[in-house]
Structure 1
Amino acid sequence: MSVFAGGVVGTAARWAAEEQWPADSGQWPVGTFLVNIVGAFVLGALLEGLVRRGPDVGRRRRIRLTAGTGFCGAFTTYSAFSLEISLLGKDGHPAIAVVYALVSVIVGVLAAAAGVWAARRSVHMAGDHA
């Protein structure tokens, strides 16, 4: 049930982003790019923060399932990413398709790493003040 609840919220947030930044033919898909990058950061931070606080049981497991699997899983979108790359190439914009694919993957990995770093720093700083 918690995965479902997180998924509902993640889907609504992704829909809002796609409405705010709709993909136009031949243009960089800003909405999908942003949700995937933000989602990578959030997931990196969430999982690192949880693992540094203890084993994946009880409340931490519910948070991971709700926010990680549910929200981030529904918020981010590999299917739209793949479709947009295909459409860009098919519509005569192969250079944008290739750059979009490469930048999305590279920036996504960097965003996840930044999320991990932020969580480590946050947990470390919280420990210094405890």
Structure 2
Amino acid sequence: MLLAVFLGGALGGLARWGLADGLGAGAHDGAWPTGTMVANLLGALVLGIVAARLLRHPDPSPRRARAGALLGPGLCGALTTFSTLQVEAVRLIDTGHPGTALAYLAVTITGGFALVRVGLRA
């Protein structure tokens, strides 16, 4: 089980790094932190899908439990980041872009809730 979480975490961390590198990270000069937002929204969707699958099978087989550990706390745990969301929002405020910070928080949080719901229904 620990190996599944570790491997999922490695994949999630690499995916988050790739998104930040490809789409932009940080909230400097009022820039929208697209990489972090996409990582958080994608993680919310995947977590909704994983949760729905586990809820359908409340007594999972060892294989299903390992897949849930790999995708849930492993992949999604490393892919998503609430702490970076907060730091980027504060950075936007500190650089004189409070409206962008509020919009970024609103889009990420409401979008995350919506995508978990989509994942649960998928």
TM-score, reference length from structure 1: 0.86
Offset from partner CA, 1:89-130 (integer Å, 9 cap, x none): 001000100111111110100000000011xxxxxxxxxxxx
Give identity over the alignment, percent: 37
SS in 2 for 1:28: coil
TM-score, reference length from structure 2: 0.91
Paired position in structure 1 for 2:50: 46
Which 4+ residue blocks in structure 1 deviate beyond 2 angstroms?
A: none
Is 1:71 aligned to residue 94 of structure 2? Answer: no
The 5 Å alignment of 1:16-95 reads: 16-23=18-25, 25=28, 26-95=30-99
Q: Which runs of 5+ in 1 are unaligned?
A: 119-130
SS in 2 for 1:107: helix
Q: CA deviation at 1:80?
A: 1.2
Offset from partner CA, 1:41-64 (integer Å, 9 cap, x none): 010011101221341441221111
Q: Which has the larger radius of gyration?
A: 1
Paired position in structure 2 for 1:3: 5
In 1: Cα distance, 2:47 partner to 2:109 partner = 15
Is 1:96 aligned to residue 100 of structure 2? Answer: yes
Offset from partner CA, 1:12-64 (integer Å, 9 cap, x none): 01000000011352011111110100110010011101221341441221111
In 2: Cα distance, 1:22 partner to 1:38 partner = 16
